[in-house]
Chain A
Amino acid sequence: MKKKLLTIVIACLLAVMAVFSACSPSTEKPGSGGSDDEFGLATTIDPNRTTLFVSNFNGGFGERWLKAAIKRFEELHKNDVYEEGKTGVQVWIDNSKTGGKDTLANIENSRDAVFFTEYVYASDYADSGKVLDLSSIVNPVLSEYGESRSIKGKMTKEQQDYFIQDNGACYVLPHYQSFRGIVYDVDLFEDENYLFYFSANANNGNDGFVMSKNETRSKGPDGTGGTYDDGLPATYDEFFRLCEYMLEKGVKPVIWSGSNQAYFTDFLAALALDHEGLSDAMLNFTFKGTAYNLVSSVGANGELSFMNDGAEGSGVAITPNNGYLLAKQAGKYYSLQFAERLLKKEYIASGSMGTLSHTDAQKNYINSYPSGGEAIGMLIEGSFWENECSDMGYFDAAVKSYGQEWSRADRRFAMMPYPKATAGQVGEKVTLTDSLMSGAFIRGNVEGYEKELALDFLQFLYTDESLREFTQYTGSPKAMNYDIDGVEGISNFARSVFDMKNRADIVYPYSSEPIYADQPASFEPTSFYSTVVNKGAGDVPYTYPSRAIYDQGVTGLEYFNGLSVAMSKSSWDNAYGKYFINN
């Protein structure tokens, strides 16, 4: 062997290794300019204070909310002694991009005590024995913060069922909340040249659209005049009339991320579950209850007949034994009809069925109106989009190009309440679906002062003040019941989401039933749309309605019928037979 070459290689290797082992990277964040921190937090670890290390999934929600809370927490405890010889506390953020089971795999060796991350299947965490029981902070009323509720009291019944074990233990707390929906540009909609609102007078000579800002608008999806959704499309039919009207006015109706069709599919699932309502929607995760909207047949004119247990309107009892029937939920049918109507080339902006990334879709959307070119009316996204877009610097870039009035603070976006599939449903409560499995938890092997501090900090983050501050900084709600009255600095969009959340029933797509808890990924809302369609060339599987309908010419009805082929009784029995209830 060429000894010289081998010698050179080994020598280089050892030299580089020695250099990089001896030199340590800087503790100062590159580009941070020294000790500047927006919230005045220390940029190095203070040996005179007790340090609590916290891991934060630094995605669309960022870390500013956490820093703001840390500032208040450190101030609150500046004179407290957790650790002998040290006064005060310092909370140190370790940002991370690992979630779910990757975090759990190595948690015992982490220096972080408190974790905030996504794709947390609470049952896995509970079973792992690696996370701390939080019941000591979840159950007591937060009276030391002047509140009259406990953390448990701020959770919905569905959340309590899922996160709190039968023995009262709680290992994971719900973290932030995100909904998929239709974002619309309020400024564009109210522009005198457009006025994309329905009139209360359907025969006003302008095809039912308002002709002036002062004209009385239609009641909207909630069926009540004088509310936040006046003038917005109440039904699918109105929504598509709006799309046509937009085209006439030279506005492209919709844009979404083409590179990830799961976004659009998630939206369809949310639409489907909105149609079903909370209790029928939850059947998809609990497999326990009665389903009232199972389609037995679709007539020639699209009229639906429904299954029942004997008497009309009696519904069908759902158990793990017959969960496959949920493929026939009418909400899924209607959402696919919506998709079929929407997926026309003229309605959707370029790249929505291509490789447009979600951030590029956001960028194109916010810039379409000020650019003077073809504006885009609506964006299908998650409720964290505005924060993410801001973090990418796109609002700042828009200000640079078009002026200060196009800043995030000056623009008004809002979440459009879902239109209803049929006129008969107008007035029904909105049902939103939480689309991220985010959770907060504490490492199981914390002890002594670290344990006490971790619990105190986590509890602090669930006080009303911290919950409101979270929304202020992220524009998104925490997955808890609270209000944002009197909180300043919240964008129009964030407020619209919060208002909608408070008016809505929320579907948390998880349950403690073993059939769900053992394989949560199999029952994610996106999985509703696994189908098989045979258009004469054999069975073809599809996962994304958008691709099947737009690319392959599959109709909404064909796609819907295929759902029960993919989730047939025999395949259901084979996959989930061990969860069956024996009568």
Chain B
Amino acid sequence: MTLSTRVKTLLHSKSERKRLLFYALVIALPLAQVAIFYFGVNINSILLAFKEYEGGSYHWVGFDNFKRVLTEIFTDSTAEWRFAFKNTFVAWIVCTGIGMTLALFFSYYIFKKGIGKNFFRVMLFMPSIISSIVMVILFTYFVDSFIPEFLMRYFDTEIRGLLSDPRTTMFMIYLYNILMGFGTNVLLLSSAMSSVSDSTVEAAQLDGANNLRLFWHVVLPQIFPTFVTIFIVSVANLFANQLNLYSFYGAYAEARLGTVGYLLYKRTVSAANAQYPELATIGLLLTIVIIPLTLGLRKFLEKVGPSDE
């Protein structure tokens, strides 16, 4: 159907007109909210990438910031960007890979009403309840002060704090992020699994499917859209993920621990007016990379993913 034919259909059919009116009226307010509080506020911040601060105001400089930022990233004399990108991808693989896999299986355990499901359901939800300020304080003191002091006092064994010891620092940070990542994911996946009909499950079990087969052939296909959504958002947030480093260290994390998200956030917090254009440029460049990746990945997964048929 051509566009003009479509428009004609829309305008001439009474039900289509009613539908369009309903749509327009309901979506108007949310769009207005975004127009004011997103575009209105942020357009200036995005345009900063093409400006330079001099003499108390911003001036248009075209792509100069892009040249400078790309040179900084690719020459990387401080090795900061190298580590930031490496840590970002490793963290994504470890935390998202392990975290999401476990979240899937833990959700399945609850779906299958495993032993202690109510208790575990509460425990899995805890990371969503507990504020990051609270959990970081408790976790940091527990692993870095209590455990070494306890071992020293009662077992005469000396160890360094698990966060302070460079051999275990990254492991503890990954562990923390995996633990804290369960809440939302398990909730969303459990919610999706609750939509799987009992009759389908029964039929599969009657056909002799064990738990693993049931999960793989019945449950996963039906919750796949939810899984893809969570996965895609984790990709979209790849360069925004700070790995909670700011909660742990403030602006004082070691350079070799940082992710791209942390590096950008740290610079933003301490930036003066003259540094905003450079930061806006970095933000835009990262977005230019991540958007096609995210959209492409989503299309790919939707195409090759299991069908609930």
Of residues A260, A520, A543, A578, which shows the largest number of chain B Cβ atoms within 10 Å of its Cβ? A543
A566 touches B78 (CB 8 A): yes
Q: B117 at the A/B interface (Cβ < 8 Å)?
A: no
B254 touches A547 (CB 8 A): yes
**Which one of A51-59, A209-217, A375-383, A567-575 is at the B interface?**
A567-575
B274: chain A residues within 8 A (beta carbon)? 517-519
Partner among A517, A521, A570 whose Cβ is within 8 Å of the Cβ of B270? A521
Q: B307 at the A/B interface (Cβ < 8 Å)?
A: no
B144 touches A543 (CB 8 A): no
| Bound CA span A445–B141, Å | 46
| Bound CA span A542–B166, Å | 13
Closest Cβ of chain A to B285, distance in Å, is 15
Q: In A529-565, which residues have CB < 8 Å from any B CB?
A: 530, 532, 539-544, 547, 551-552, 565
Given A262-B252, A521-B271, A575-B72: A570 in contact with B77 (beta carbons within 8 A): yes
Q: B298 at the A/B interface (Cβ < 8 Å)?
A: no
A567: chain B residues within 8 A (beta carbon)? 77
Look across to chain A and name the residue whose beta carbon is closest to the beta carbon of B143.
A355
B145 touches A121 (CB 8 A): no
Q: In B47-94, which residues have CB < 8 Å from any A CB?
A: 52-54, 56, 68, 71-72, 75, 77-80, 82-83
Given A355-B140, A568-B77, A570-B75: A261 in contact with B164 (beta carbons within 8 A): no
Given A354-B144, A355-B141: A571 in contact with B161 (beta carbons within 8 A): no
Q: A330 at the A/B interface (Cβ < 8 Å)?
A: no
Q: B272 at the A/B interface (Cβ < 8 Å)?
A: yes
A578: chain B residues within 8 A (beta carbon)? 52
| Bound CA span A541–B85, Å | 13
Chain B 32-49, CB-CB to A under 8 Å as 1, else 0, gives 000000000000000000
B271 touches A127 (CB 8 A): no
Q: In A451-471, which residues have CB < 8 Å from any B CB?
A: none
B256 touches A541 (CB 8 A): yes
A355 touches B161 (CB 8 A): yes
| Bound CA span A353–B166, Å | 11
B161 touches A354 (CB 8 A): yes
A539: chain B residues within 8 A (beta carbon)? 79, 82
Chain B 239-268, CB-CB to A under 8 Å as 1, else 0, gives 000000000000010111000000000000
B54: chain A residues within 8 A (beta carbon)? 514
Given A127-B56, A547-B166: A260 in contact with B252 (beta carbons within 8 A): yes
A574 touches B78 (CB 8 A): no
Partner among A124, A532, A543 whose Cβ is within 8 Å of the Cβ of B77? A532
| Bound CA span A565–B82, Å | 15
Closest Cβ of chain A to B77, distance in Å, is 4
Closest Cβ of chain B to A371, distance in Å, is 17
| Bound CA span A571–B163, Å | 32
B164 touches A519 (CB 8 A): no
Q: A331 at the A/B interface (Cβ < 8 Å)?
A: no
| Bound CA span A566–B160, Å | 30
| Bound CA span A512–B216, Å | 65
| Bound CA span A541–B79, Å | 6
Q: B273 at the A/B interface (Cβ < 8 Å)?
A: yes
Closest Cβ of chain A to B73, distance in Å, is 10
B145: chain A residues within 8 A (beta carbon)? 351, 354-355
Q: A258 at the A/B interface (Cβ < 8 Å)?
A: yes
Closest Cβ of chain A to B229, distance in Å, is 22
Q: In A251-306, which residues have CB < 8 Å from any B CB?
A: 258, 260-262
| Bound CA span A565–B75, Å | 11
B56: chain A residues within 8 A (beta carbon)? 127
B78 touches A518 (CB 8 A): no
A520 touches B272 (CB 8 A): yes
A530 touches B78 (CB 8 A): yes
Q: In A508-529, which residues have CB < 8 Å from any B CB?
A: 514, 517-522
Given A354-B144, A354-B145, A355-B141: A124 in contact with B164 (beta carbons within 8 A): no
| Bound CA span A7–B161, Å | 50
Look across to chain B and name the residue whose beta carbon is closest to the beta carbon of A101.
B272
| Bound CA span A574–B161, Å | 40
Given A355-B140, A518-B53: A571 in contact with B72 (beta carbons within 8 A): yes
Look across to chain A and name the residue whose beta carbon is closest to the beta carbon of B255.
A541
How many A-B pairs fall under 8 Å by CB?
Answer: 93
B254 touches A544 (CB 8 A): yes
A541: chain B residues within 8 A (beta carbon)? 78-80, 83, 255-256
Look across to chain A and name the residue whose beta carbon is closest to the beta carbon of B77.
A571
| Bound CA span A540–B148, Å | 28
Partner among B72, B144, B275 whose Cβ is within 8 Å of the Cβ of A355? B144
B256 touches A542 (CB 8 A): yes
Look across to chain A and name the residue whose beta carbon is closest to the beta carbon of B148.
A354
| Bound CA span A575–B274, Å | 12
Given A260-B252, A519-B275, A547-B254: A354 in contact with B72 (beta carbons within 8 A): no
A571 touches B75 (CB 8 A): yes
B78 touches A355 (CB 8 A): no
Closest Cβ of chain B to A327, distance in Å, is 11
| Bound CA span A353–B252, Å | 14
| Bound CA span A299–B244, Å | 44
B272 touches A518 (CB 8 A): yes
Closest Cβ of chain A to B41, distance in Å, is 13
Given A566-B77, A574-B71: A121 in contact with B164 (beta carbons within 8 A): no
| Bound CA span A552–B169, Å | 13
B68 touches A575 (CB 8 A): yes
Closest Cβ of chain A to B278, distance in Å, is 9
Q: In A99-129, which residues have CB < 8 Å from any B CB?
A: 101, 121, 123-124, 127
B252 touches A261 (CB 8 A): yes
| Bound CA span A306–B53, Å | 37
A552: chain B residues within 8 A (beta carbon)? 166
Look across to chain B and name the residue whose beta carbon is closest to the beta carbon of A102.
B269
B68 touches A574 (CB 8 A): yes
| Bound CA span A335–B53, Å | 35
| Bound CA span A566–B80, Å | 9
Of residues B72, B83, B160, B256, which shows the largest number of chain A Cβ atoms within 10 Å of its Cβ? B256
A353 touches B164 (CB 8 A): yes
| Bound CA span A519–B166, Å | 31
Partner among A260, A517, A540, A566 whose Cβ is within 8 Å of the Cβ of B256? A540
| Bound CA span A524–B255, Å | 16
| Bound CA span A544–B256, Å | 11
A530: chain B residues within 8 A (beta carbon)? 78, 255
Closest Cβ of chain B to A27, distance in Å, is 28
Closest Cβ of chain A to B172, distance in Å, is 12
Closest Cβ of chain A to B124, distance in Å, is 23
| Bound CA span A521–B163, Å | 27
B160: chain A residues within 8 A (beta carbon)? 353-354
| Bound CA span A182–B180, Å | 40
| Bound CA span A541–B53, Å | 29
| Bound CA span A353–B75, Å | 32
Task: Write the residues of chain B forming the contact surface with A, with a CB cutoff of 8 angstroms.
Answer: 52-54, 56, 68, 71-72, 75, 77-80, 82-83, 140-141, 144-145, 148, 160-161, 163-166, 252, 254-256, 270-275
Rank and list the top 7 A-B pairs by shortest CB-CB distance, nearest first.
Answer: A518-B274, A541-B255, A127-B56, A571-B77, A521-B270, A355-B144, A539-B79
Known: A532-B77, A541-B256. 9 other contacts (CB 8 A): A124-B273, A354-B144, A355-B144, A355-B164, A518-B53, A518-B274, A518-B275, A519-B275, A540-B79
A/B interface sample: 14 pairs, CB < 8 A:
A124-B272, A127-B273, A261-B252, A262-B252, A354-B161, A355-B140, A355-B161, A518-B274, A519-B271, A519-B275, A521-B272, A551-B166, A566-B78, A570-B75
Task: Write the residues of chain A forming the contact surface with B, with a CB cutoff of 8 angstroms.
Answer: 101, 121, 123-124, 127, 258, 260-262, 351, 353-355, 514, 517-522, 530, 532, 539-544, 547, 551-552, 565-568, 570-571, 574-575, 578
